[in-house]
Every structure is written in C-alpha cells, then in structure tokens.
Structure 1
Amino acid sequence: MNRLPVLLATALTLAPLPAALCAAPLTAPDFEAMVEGHKFDFTLNGMPFGREQYLPGRQVLWQGPGGACQYGRWYPAGDAICFEYDEIPDPFCWTVERSADRVEVTLLPSEAGITVDMVGPTDSQMMSCPLPGLGV
C-alpha cells in the first residue's frame, strides 16, 4: 500500500494555514483601537479609492478619489462595520480583516465583489475638506 497520499493529506491537515486564510473579521473594539485618531488610504486593484479620517466618538470623514468629502459615523453590526454618511441615505457595511501584512475591507454583501486594501495609517497627509457648516 502506498502511504505517500495518506502522509501528504495528514501533513496538509496539520500544517498551519497562512494568516490571510485564517483572518477573522475585526471586532468593533479592535477596529476602533486600530483607526481612532488616524487617517487611512484605500486602494482598489492598486488604484486610489479614497481616504478616511477616523475621529473620536466613531465619527468619520471620507474623501473619495474625486475629492468630494462626506462626514459620517461608523457602528458595529454583527461581524460588520457599517458607515452612515450625512448625504448618503443608505449605510455601507464592510467586513474588515487584518493579516500580518495587510488589511482587507470587503463590501457586504460579499457577492458585490468589492474588496479594497486599507493602507496606513497615513497621518502625515492632509485632507482638504471644509469643516461642517462652512459651505464650500
């Protein structure tokens, strides 16, 4: 009897999986600890997708690739982190998974097929957004 297939199957079963495959969604406290007081850039397929600044009290400031800014807030919803913005009627919910070398953020439902990389923090780079209530 050839034992090689059995040995290979056993070795693969016992071998640790890469961190990216084992990543679980970040909890709200872990996400908050990672982001509060920082700015992060987001990329989609290596191209700039936007930047978000995480303010105290789960408040956020999003700046899209065209430069438009949106103020909002984030909140936990199960395993997701959801964002509501002042001028957008529906929330956006994402799962946030961190591995040793990257943070991936996937729009829910995951069938939408949008996963972006969260890069940073990028605290040294300024955001050019007007303060709320001051107009443009």
Structure 2
Amino acid sequence: MFSRFKRMLILPFLLVGLSGADIVLAAEPEPMDGAAFDAYTRGKTLFYGQNGQAYGAEVYLENRRVRWSFLDGQCKEGFWYEQGNQICFVYEDNPDPQCWAFHTENGRLIARFENLPGATELYEAQDVGEEMVCLGPEVGV
C-alpha cells in the first residue's frame, strides 16, 4: 500500500519534468488559405460526401465564382472569399456567408462548416472532370 502511495506522489513530478517536445499530440490540420484553396479547386467540379452519402457538388470557376448543387438539378451561383482561416461562400439565394475550414487529407479535400462547428464535415468524393447537371428554371404552363 505504501509503494502505491509513493508512486502517486512521484507521478506529478515526473509529468512536470516532461518538456513539450516529449509530448506529441495530434494537431488539427492547418487550414488552407485562399491562394491554396484557389489553386486546388479552380477549374474543377468536385463532388462531396458526408457519412458515406452523396452531399452535393460544386463547380469552381475563374475569379472565385462557384456553382453549387445538392445534386437535385437545382444550381446556385455564388462566389467565395477568404476570411481569416476560413473560406466563405455567398450564394444568390442567401446573402449570409457560409464559412468553412478546408484542408487536405489523404489527397482529398476536407471541409468543416464553421458557422456551426461539429455539425457538418464534408469530404471530396471525386473530381469527375465533367460539368455538373443544372436544370433550367422552373416555368409554369
């Protein structure tokens, strides 16, 4: 019993003696800045997934313009800009910016929604090198 008590007293002193270099913690990946994001995405059509399911696709055009679809044939035009460590998107139907932190992991893009941390994380499913299908505007008879 005394030896267990003695070890409990020594343990905090051992931990205090460790330097920061001795402790390796898994660090959060460094988010992409605007230049890196633009270089990675421009000219591509990327399809995104979430939890093994298709989520949506985005076409990345010149001058930071984008076209988004939830893969329902309806497309939204928009643009993106860099704000701190985030890439923010504004679409024609919503003036409120949708901000994400992007990084690459295992050769694909990962996006974490910053407007509601922990709520949405998307991963690049593929770059199909094709145009996204957008239906024309709905018209009545």
For this structure pair, what is the TM-score category when the shorter chain's length is used for normalisation? 0.7 to 0.9
Whether 2:117 is the aligned partner of 1:111: answer: yes
- Look up the match of 2:10: none
2:95: which partner in 1? 89
Task: Tell me how far apart the structure 2 counterparts of residues 122 and 113 of structure 1 sit (CA, whole Å).
Answer: 27
Gapped runs of 5+ residues in structure 1? none
Q: Secondary structure at the match of 1:111?
A: coil
- The structural deviation recorded for 1:72 is 0.4
Larger radius of gyration: 2
How many correspondences in the alignment?
129
| Structure 1 residue 40, shift from structure 2 partner | 0.3
Task: Please give the secondary structure, in 1, of the residue aligned with 2:35.
Answer: helix
Paired residues for 1:1-136 under 5 Å: 21-123=27-129, 125-129=130-134, 135-136=137-138
Q: TM-score normalised to the size of structure 1?
A: 0.76
Consecutive aligned runs of 4 or more in structure 1 exceeding 6 Å deviation:
15-18
Secondary structure of the equivalent of 1:31? helix
User: 2 CA distance for matches of 1:114 and 1:78?
Assistant: 19
Q: What TM-score do the two structures reach when normalised by structure 2?
A: 0.74
